[in-house]
């Protein structure tokens, strides 16, 4: 009996946890892969987003994308397009969808999905090379994605 | 003050590494004698590449030059160690490598055609499997650890006597099903980053991913001395490192999937030269 109560408490907490935001399996993508609502239910913080853009253990966006505004951080990649000016020609909704799961916008893209935890082949336990134990965590949290989106919106030219 | 100087040195070192882009037009001649094919037409079975390039062309001038002279190539130290092992009697049969095969140079041409179907064993064998086959079946000696130090040294010796010879791995006949398994694995996206070998090494070779300059991922230079860890590295361990970096569960070295992938990736380099032990990042 205790176990049952424990489980229902866990579900209740989970439900409360997602009440303000969107879980990884509940993201609604539009026709072109855009996502209308904030994943965390909160606005993003562009300054925090910048840190996530350049941190190897976080978004590490510049591993693949060149960003002139981030020139002081060394080693920008060439795998993806430059993000210069992306805030001028992409909406927040489009950017959110692309960061959360770019395959919904660009079929077959090399870019990883930062807010997805299922549908992978041989998912591992982080970078250990061993099998994943239990459910995966998304590469970025809902709020971290909102922060990145807020930063990307500042890239106007 | 000291920390300021150190900081300055570090900054310069970083800048140099960034500025030291590869000379992709360079040609490789080892010891002013062995001509290495570092770029050539892709083999017919490779549909998505027109030209294949050795990983050597993607490395910095400094790294490239280390492979041009055996006295500069740190991998050759391990070749010397293997020559000793080659001549050492081991196991219950009282044999050494030399007592059957003669001088190491007698192995010229072997590395160029491996992995290869073994008729007696009815399986595709890598050079490492063949070495262990010799050790356990003919010498009565213990098998060496797959991708362990003794094995990599011996593989480096066996590769070194084939340097300059053209890689020509058979993909048809009895090897075909393993080759197809390897091809499927090459194009399968794995891990939470959802990346296949092809995503980086076919679609994006020549591009930088953060500070790494992506090569075509050929294995003609294995075993490879990496400056990163200052030792010889085996092909399958290298595959594991790549797959691990996709946040995937890797395959172990020596398992069927790895042998299949090694066969397939080796065949993508058909037409390049054997370079092992090569020097890479």
Strands (E), B37-102: 39-41, 51-53
Q: Which residues of chain B have a CB within 8 Å of the CB of A112?
A: 192-195
Q: Give the integer Cα–Cα distance in Å for B88 and A45.
A: 66
Query: Would residue B200 show up in a list of annotated catalytic residues for this protein?
Result: no
Confirm whether A115 is domain-assigned. yes
Confirm whether A50 is domain-assigned. yes
Mean pLDDT of B217-231: 97
pLDDT band at B20 (very low <50, low <70, confident <90, very high): low
Q: Does B10 touch chain A (CB under 8 A)?
A: no
The residue written with tokens 């990983």 in the block is: B55
Distances (CA, A) of A4 to A7, A9, A10, A15, B128: 5, 9, 10, 16, 55
CB B187, CB B197: distance < 8 Å: yes
Q: Which residues of chain B have a CB within 8 Å of the CB of A132?
A: 249
Residue of A nearest to B244 (CA): A129
Six-digit token string for B265: 């990736």
Residue A131: strand, helix, or coil: strand
Confirm whether A2 is domain-assigned. no
Confirm whether A15 is domain-assigned. no
Q: Which residues of chain B have a CB within 8 Å of the CB of A128?
A: 244
Model pLDDT, residue B24:
77
Q: Does B184 touch chain A (CB under 8 A)?
A: no
Model pLDDT, residue B3:
39
Domain count, chain A: 1
Q: Give the integer Cα–Cα distance in Å for A116 and A140.
A: 9
Q: Does B21 touch chain A (CB under 8 A)?
A: no
Confirm whether A34 is domain-assigned. yes
- Pick the range with the lowest mean pLDDT from A16-30, B33-47, B107-121, B127-141: A16-30
Q: What is the pTM of this model?
A: 0.90
Mean pLDDT of B82-91: 98
pLDDT digits (tens, 9 = 90+) for B135-181: 999 999 999 999 999 999 999 999 999 999 999 999 999 999 999 99
CB B157, CB B232: distance < 8 Å: no
Residue span of the structural domain in which A118 resides: 23-123+130-154
Confirm whether A31 is domain-assigned. yes
Q: Give the integer Cα–Cα distance in Å for A3 and A24.
A: 26
CB B128, CB B234: distance < 8 Å: yes
Of residues A130, A134, A132, the one with CA closest to residue B251: A130
Strands (E), chain B: 28-30, 34-36, 39-41, 51-53, 116-118, 123-125, 208-209, 212-213, 224-226, 231-233, 278-280
Q: Which residues of chain B have a CB within 8 Å of the CB of A124?
A: 191-192, 244, 246-250
Model pLDDT, residue B21:
61
Confirm whether A7 is domain-assigned. no
Q: Does B195 touch chain A (CB under 8 A)?
A: yes
ipTM score here? 0.87
What's the count of helices (H) and strands (E) in chain A, helices before strands? 5, 0
Q: Is the predicted pLDDT of residue B241 greater than 90, yes or no?
A: yes
Which CATH number do you get for residue A49?
Answer: 1.10.760.10
* Average pLDDT taken over every residue of chain B: 93
CA angle at residue B177 from B172 to B183, to 5 degrees?
Answer: 90
Mean pLDDT of B211-232: 97
CB B140, CB B250: distance < 8 Å: no
Q: Is the predicted pLDDT of residue B34 greater than 60, yes or no?
A: yes
pLDDT digits (tens, 9 = 90+) for B3-15: 333 433 343 344 4
Question: In the beta sheet, which residues pair with residue A50?
Answer: none
Confirm whether A138 is domain-assigned. yes
Q: Give the integer Cα–Cα distance in Å for B216 and B94.
A: 44
- Could you tell me which residue, B100 or B15, shows the higher pLDDT? B100
Q: Give the integer Cα–Cα distance in Å for B279 and B281.
A: 7
| pLDDT tens, N- to C-terminus, chain A (157 residues) | 344 444 444 444 444 444 479 999 999 999 999 999 999 999 999 999 999 999 999 999 999 999 999 999 999 999 999 999 999 999 999 999 999 999 999 999 999 999 999 999 999 999 999 999 999 999 999 999 999 999 999 999 8
Model pLDDT, residue A42:
96
Is the Cβ pair A120, B245 closer than 8 Å?
no
Q: How many residues does chain A have?
A: 157
- Collect all residues with Cβ–Cβ distance below 8 Å to A96 and sequence separation of at least 6: A34, A35, A38, A39, A145, A146, A149
CA angle at residue A47 from A45 to A52, to 5 degrees?
Answer: 90
Residue of A nearest to B190 (CA): A121
């Amino acid at each position: 009996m205790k176990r049952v109560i424990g489980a229902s408490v866990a579900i209740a907490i989970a439900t409360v946890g997602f009440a303000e935001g969107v879980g990884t399996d509940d993201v609604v993508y539009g026709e072109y892969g855009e996502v209308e609502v904030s994943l965390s239910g909160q606005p993003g913080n562009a300054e925090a987003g910048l840190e996530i853009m350049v941190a190897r253990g976080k978004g590490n966006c510049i591993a693949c994308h060149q960003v002139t505004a981030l020139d002081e951080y060394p080693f920008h990649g060439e795998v993806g397009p430059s993000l210069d000016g992306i805030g001028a020609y992409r909406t927040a909704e489009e950017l959110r969808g692309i960061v959360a799961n770019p395959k919904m916008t660009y079929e077959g893209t090399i870019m990883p999905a930062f807010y997805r935890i299922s549908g992978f082949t041989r998912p591992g336990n982080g970078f250990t090379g061993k099998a994943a134990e239990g459910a995966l965590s998304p590469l970025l949290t809902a709020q971290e994605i909102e922060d990145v989106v807020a930063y990307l919106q500042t890239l106007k030219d | 003050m000291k920390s300021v100087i150190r900081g300055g040195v570090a900054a310069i070192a970083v800048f140099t590494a960034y500025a030291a882009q590869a000379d992709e037009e360079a040609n490789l001649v080892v010891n002013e004698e062995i001509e290495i094919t570092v770029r050539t037409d892709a083999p017919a079975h490779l549909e998505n590449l027109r030209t294949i390039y050795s990983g050597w062309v993607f490395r910095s001038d400094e790294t490239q030059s280390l492979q041009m002279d055996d006295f500069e190539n740190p991998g050759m130290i391990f070749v010397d160690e293997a020559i000793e092992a080659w001549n050492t009697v081991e196991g219950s049969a009282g044999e050494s490598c030399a007592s059957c095969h003669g001088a190491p140079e007698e192995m010229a041409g072997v590395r160029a055609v491996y992995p290869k179907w073994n008729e007696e064993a009815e399986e595709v064998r890598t050079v490492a499997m063949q070495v262990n086959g010799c050790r356990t079946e003919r010498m009565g000696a213990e098998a060496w650890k797959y991708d362990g130090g003794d094995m990599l040294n011996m593989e480096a010796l066996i590769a070194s006597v084939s340097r300059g010879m053209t890689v020509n791995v058979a993909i048809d006949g009895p090897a075909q099903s393993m080759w197809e398994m390897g091809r499927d694995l090459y194009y399968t996206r794995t891990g939470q980053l959802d990346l296949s070998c092809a995503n980086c090494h076919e679609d994006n070779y020549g591009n930088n991913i953060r500070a790494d300059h992506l090569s075509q991922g050929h294995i003609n230079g294995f075993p490879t001395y990496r400056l990163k860890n200052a030792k010889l590295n085996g092909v399958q361990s290298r595959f594991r490192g790549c797959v691990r970096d996709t946040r995937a569960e890797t395959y172990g070295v020596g398992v069927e999937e790895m042998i299949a992938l090694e066969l397939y990736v080796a065949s993508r380099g058909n037409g390049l030269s054997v370079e092992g032990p090569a020097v890479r990042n």
